[in-house]
Amino acid sequence: MPQPIPTLRWEGGVDGHLVLLDQTRLPNEVVELHCRTVEDVWQAIKRLAVRGAPAIGVAAAYGVCLSLNSSGSLPLAGRVGEGVRSGYPALSPLPSPPHQGEGTGGNNIEVVRLACDYLATSRPTAVNLFWALNRMRDVAACGLAPEQLPQALLVEARAIHAEDAAMCTAIGQHGADLLADLPVGTGILTHCNAGALATAGEGTALSVIFELARRGKRPHVWVDETRPLLQGARLTAWELTQRNIDCTLITDSMAAQVMRQGRVQAVITGADRIAANGDSANKIGTYSVAVLAHAHDVPFYIAAPSSTFDPSIATGDQIPIEQRLGDEITCGFGQRTAPEGVNVYNPAFDVTPARLIRAIITERGVIKPGADL
Amino acid sequence: MPQPIPTLRWEGGVDGHLVLLDQTRLPNEVVELHCRTVEDVWQAIKRLAVRGAPAIGVAAAYGVCLSLNSSGSLPLAGRVGEGVRSGYPALSPLPSPPHQGEGTGGNNIEVVRLACDYLATSRPTAVNLFWALNRMRDVAACGLAPEQLPQALLVEARAIHAEDAAMCTAIGQHGADLLADLPVGTGILTHCNAGALATAGEGTALSVIFELARRGKRPHVWVDETRPLLQGARLTAWELTQRNIDCTLITDSMAAQVMRQGRVQAVITGADRIAANGDSANKIGTYSVAVLAHAHDVPFYIAAPSSTFDPSIATGDQIPIEQRLGDEITCGFGQRTAPEGVNVYNPAFDVTPARLIRAIITERGVIKPGADL
C-alpha cells in the first residue's frame, strides 16, 4: 500500500508550488504543507518537515523554481528574518524577485543564484542538497532566453524528481540481489528513516527491504527509534506498518542486544554524504550501529544514490556535521525531560568509517570496500 | 549540595511509614510519596517511583515492616487487585494482618513471610531486592517473642539502610583509588542512574565520580539519556547539576561518537545482578556501551555492592530479564511517537559479559576480571 500522500509533489505548472507531507506531524497526523516561496522551502528543510538526503535535494530544486514564480514576490527579506528570530544563523536577505514577465535575463539568473545560495544554507551535511542546487544553477547559467528560464528550471526539477524515484527502484533491485542468499524471515536492522519519506521514490535502505518483501523473503525489520527526533519510531515504523512489513520497534540502546541474540542478519542504513574514501555520514547513531554490527559479525550496508558521493572530500573527517539545538534532546516529547540549564551535545550526524561498511548499494550497482569509489 | 529530599526515609517509630522521593516526577517536580502499606511499596517499586538495585532493597525491607504495622490493616486484597488491573501479573492477595498487639507470633511470622513473597514479585532482575527480603525473613524466623518482632524488623531495615549508605561511601573510595591516575578533567561516561537516587547513600557509579570531584579531579561526565525512561536525563543529569559536577547530556546513540572523539577515558555503570562468573545485568543499553567502550579501548567498570552478586547463578544467561510494556517506548512522555499497533521489544535490562568488564568496584574492594568472584 503506498503512503496516502506523496512525500513531495509539484502542484500546477510553471507558476505552481511545492506540496510536502509534513513529516514533523507523523505518525499522528497526515498533513500537507504548501510551500509558495523559497523561504517556505528553506524553513521546511531546516525544521525537518522534509528530510532525508535525496528528498532534500528534490525539495530544494523545486524551491529554486519558486524564486522566479509570481508568488515569490512575497516580502522575502522579512521571511528570512523569521529564520533569524528562530535562532538560526543570520542570512543576507534575498532581493525581492522581479514580477513574472518584467525581469531581465540577467536579473533572473542572479535571483536563481541567490536562491540557490540561500537554500544551500538550510542544512550543511547532506551533499545531495548541493548537488541538486548545482544542477539548477547550471540551468540558469546555460544562456536561455529570460522567458524560457522558469520553464527550464521546472523541467530540471521534475527531472531530478523523476530520477530520484528511478534511483530508488534501482537501489532496491541491486540491494535485493546482493542479499539474495539471506533466508526467508531474515532480520534486518535499520536506523533513522531511509524510506519513501526520505526520497521521491520507495527509499534507499527501505527500498531494498520492500524489494526483498516482493521477492517473498518476508524480512523482519528491527527499527531503531533514532533519538532525538525519533525518525525510526515516527517514520520508518509508519512506512513499514503501512506496507505490512513485519517490524519491531526498539530503542537505539537495544540494537546491541538484538544483535547478540542473533536476530539481525544485516544492517542497512542510508547516507547523507560519502567521502572519496567511502567514509559515510548518516544520522547520529549510525556509527554506533556500525561498530556494534562489526562486533557481532553482522554485515553493515549503506544504500544511497550516487549523488550522495562527494569526491571533493577525501575522508569523513572533512564532512561538516550539523549541530542542532539541545532542546531536541531535553524537551523532545512535549515536556521537559532533563534539568534546566544542563549542557547538551546534539550533532545531527556521525561518520562511519569505510572499514566498517561491507558494501554501498547505489543505483548504478554495489560498491565493495576497497574498490575505487 | 545534597539533594533536597532523601531518596528514602522512614518516618516515625515502629508504627511509622516509608517516605520516598517520587523519581517518576523528577526533574520537574520534587514530590514525596508516603507508603503506608506493603502494597504501596510494591506499586512504588513496580512503577519505578523508587528504582536502582540498592534502593529497591532498602525500600522493600521497610515495606516488610509495614506488614505488621497498624496502618497495614488497610484492605490489602483490594489493593493487590489494583496491580492486577494495571496489567501486572495476578498475585495471591495478602491476608489482612492482625491489628497491632493482637497477633500471635506464628501469625506474624506468616504475615512477614507473605509480605516478603509479595514484595519479591515487584521486579525480577535486581538481586538486592531478594537479598534484603531474605534478611527480613531471617529476622522473622529467629524465634523472637511476638511483641518484639515489629521492632526487630525495623532495626534490621534501618541496618540495611545504614549499611547501604556506608557501602556507597566505600565504593566511592575504592573507585577513586582505582582511577587515581586519570588526569584532571577526565571524561567519564555513565548510563542510567547509579547515584544517590539509586541508593540510600551517594550512589555506586556516581559515588566514584563524587569522590573524584572531592579529590580535585574535576571529572566531566557524559550522561547517556537512557531510553526509554530517561533515567540519565531526568535523574543523573539532575544529581550532577545539583552537585555542580560538569556534565553533558547525550542520546544513547551518541556514546560511540564521543568515545571516537577521545572524550571518554572511562565508563562506569551500576549493576542489578552479577552472576558467579562476573556477567552483569544492568539497565538496557549497558551492554551496548560496554561493546562500544571495548571497541574504542576505553575501560568499562561496574560499581555495585556485594549484595548485587548472585553466586547461585553461574552465568548471565540465567539472569531473569524483566520485560516491560511497549508504551514506555511508543508513548513515553505524554504523546504518541510511533504508529498504533506497532510491535515493540522492551527489555528493562541486558547482560554485559565479564570479558568486557575491566573491574567491578565493590564496598569491599575492586575485583579484577579473572579473579575469583
Please determine, for residue B372, whether its predicted confidence score (pLDDT) is greater than 60. Answer: no
Q: What cell was used for A313?
A: 572530500
Please determine, for residue A98, whether its predicted confidence score (pLDDT) is greater than 80. Answer: no
Please count the other Cβ atoms lying within 10 Å of the Cβ belonging to residue A104. Answer: 10
Minimal CA–CA distance to B245: which of B205, B295, B294? Answer: B205
B289 contacts A367 by C-beta, under 8 angstroms = no
Mutate one of B337, B352, B356 to test the A interface: name it (highest A CB count within 10 A): B337
Phi, psi values for residue B282, rounded to 5°:
-150, 175
Q: What value of ipTM does the predicted structure carry?
A: 0.90
Summarize pLDDT for A340-359 with one digit per residue, the tens: 999 999 999 999 999 999 99
- Cis ω for the linkage preceding A347 (within 30 of 0): no
Distance CA B132, CA B116 (A): 9
User: Between A131 and A5, where is the model more confident?
Assistant: A131
How close is the nearest chain B Cα to the Cα of A81, in Å?
Answer: 31
Percent of chain B with pLDDT over 70: 88
The arithmetic mean of pLDDT across residues A285-292, rounded, is 98
B215 contacts B185 by C-beta, under 8 angstroms = no
For A292-312, give the secondary structure using H, E and C.
HHHHCCCCEEEECCHHHEECC
CB A338 to CB B291 under 8 A? no
Using a CB-CB cut-off of 8 Å, the residues of chain B touching A333 are 332-335, 337
pLDDT score at A5: 82
The arithmetic mean of pLDDT across residues A30-44, rounded, is 97
pLDDT score at B361: 98
Mutate one of A238, A288, A292, A324 to test the B interface: name it (highest B CB count within 10 A): A288
The arithmetic mean of pLDDT across residues B149-174, rounded, is 98
How close is the nearest chain B Cα to the Cα of A228, in Å?
Answer: 7
Please give the mean pLDDT across all residues of chain B.
90
Give the lowest-confidence range in B59-68, B81-90, B276-285: B81-90
pLDDT score at A368: 86
Using a CB-CB cut-off of 8 Å, the residues of chain A touching B27 are 336-339
How close is the nearest chain A Cα to the Cα of B238, in Å?
Answer: 6
Residue A140, helix vs strand vs coil = helix
Percent of chain A with pLDDT over 90: 85
> Residues B323, B326, B330, B333: is their CA dihedral positive or negative?
negative
Spot the catalytic one: B40, B164, B252, B272. B272
- Cis ω for the linkage preceding A320 (within 30 of 0): no
Using a CB-CB cut-off of 8 Å, the residues of chain B touching A323 are none
CB B257 to CB A350 under 8 A? yes
Summarize pLDDT for B77-117 with one digit per residue, the tens: 333 333 333 322 334 445 444 444 444 556 899 999 999 99
Distance of CA B254 to the CA centre of its chain: 25
Percent of chain A with pLDDT over 70: 88
Distance CA A352, CA A286 (A): 7
The arithmetic mean of pLDDT across residues B313-338, rounded, is 94
User: Between B298 and B2, where is the model more confident?
Assistant: B298
Please determine, for residue A102, whether its predicted confidence score (pLDDT) is greater than 80. Answer: no
Give the lowest-confidence range in A55-69, A144-158, B93-107: B93-107
How close is the nearest chain A Cα to the Cα of B355, in Å?
Answer: 13
Pairing between β-strand A17-21 and β-strand A8-11 as defined by DSSP bridges: antiparallel
pLDDT score at A152: 97
CB B338 to CB A237 under 8 A? yes
pLDDT score at B324: 96
Using a CB-CB cut-off of 8 Å, the residues of chain B touching A224 are 253
The arithmetic mean of pLDDT across residues A308-323, rounded, is 96
Q: Which of B249, B258, B335 sits opposite A329 (nearest CB)?
A: B249
CB A291 to CB B294 under 8 A? no
Please determine, for residue A205, whether its predicted confidence score (pLDDT) is greater than 90. Answer: yes
How close is the nearest chain A Cα to the Cα of B178, in Å?
Answer: 28
Task: Work out the burial of residue B328: count CB atoms within 10 Å of its CB; fewer than 13 is exposed, 13-18 middle, 19 or more buried.
Answer: middle
Distance CA B261, CA A273 (A): 20
Q: Which of A225, A237, A342 sits opposite B249 (nearest CB)?
A: A342
CB A338 to CB B258 under 8 A? no
CB A345 to CB B225 under 8 A? no
Please determine, for residue B32, whether its predicted confidence score (pLDDT) is greater than 70. Answer: yes
CB A333 to CB B336 under 8 A? no
The arithmetic mean of pLDDT across residues A61-85, rounded, is 59
Please determine, for residue A101, whether its predicted confidence score (pLDDT) is greater than 50. Answer: no
Phi, psi values for residue A94, rounded to 5°:
-70, 145
Please count the other Cβ atoms lying within 10 Å of the Cβ belonging to residue A78. Answer: 10
Distance CA B317, CA B305 (A): 21
pLDDT score at A353: 97
Distance CA A269, CA A283 (A): 9
Concatenated DSSP letters of A323-352: B--THHHHSTTSS--S-TT-EE--BSEEEE
Please determine, for residue B369, whether its predicted confidence score (pLDDT) is greater than 80. Answer: no
Distance CA B42, CA B121 (A): 8
0.95 exceeded by the pTM?
no
Element at B7 (helix H, strand E) = none
How close is the nearest chain B Cα to the Cα of A344, in Å?
Answer: 5
pLDDT score at B334: 81
Query: According to DSSP H, which parts of A215-338 are helical?
Result: 231, 237-242, 255-260, 286-295, 327-330
B34 contacts B19 by C-beta, under 8 angstroms = yes
Q: What cell was used for A316?
A: 569523513
The pLDDT confidence band at residue B332, using thresholds 50, 70 and 90, is: confident
Write the CA distances from A348 to A46, A266, A322, B262, integer angstroms.
12, 24, 6, 19
CB A227 to CB B225 under 8 A? yes
Radius of gyration of chain A (CA): 20
Query: Which residues have a Cβ under 8 Å from the Cβ of B208 and sit 6 or more positions away?
Result: B171, B172, B175, B176, B179, B268, B301, B303, B361
Summarize pLDDT for A9-35 with one digit per residue, the tens: 999 999 999 999 999 999 999 999 999
pLDDT score at B275: 97
Mutate one of B253, B269, B289, B317 to test the A interface: name it (highest A CB count within 10 A): B253
Give the lowest-confidence range in A110-114, A254-258, B98-102, B335-339: B98-102
Element at B151 (helix H, strand E) = helix B149-178
Please give the mean pLDDT across all residues of chain A.
90
Task: Work out the burial of residue A182: count CB atoms within 10 Å of its CB; fewer than 13 is exposed, 13-18 middle, 19 or more buried.
Answer: middle
Please count the other Cβ atoms lying within 10 Å of the Cβ belonging to residue A128. Answer: 28
Concatenated DSSP letters of A52-78: SHHHHHHHHHHHHHHTTSGGGGS-HHH
A117 is catalytic: no
Q: Which of B285, B336, B344 sits opposite A249 (nearest CB)?
A: B344
Spot the catalytic one: A164, A272, A279, A350. A272
Distance CA B199, CA B236 (A): 13
pLDDT score at B370: 56
Please determine, for residue A140, whether its predicted confidence score (pLDDT) is greater than 60. Answer: yes
Give the lowest-confidence range in A168-172, B83-87, B363-367: B83-87
Distance CA A257, CA B349 (A): 10
pLDDT score at A333: 84
CB B337 to CB A333 under 8 A? yes
Task: Work out the burial of residue A371: count CB atoms within 10 Å of its CB; fewer than 13 is exposed, 13-18 middle, 19 or more buried.
Answer: exposed
pLDDT score at B5: 82
User: Between A262 and A94, where is the model more confident?
Assistant: A262
The overall longest dimension of chain A from CA atoms, in Å, is: 67
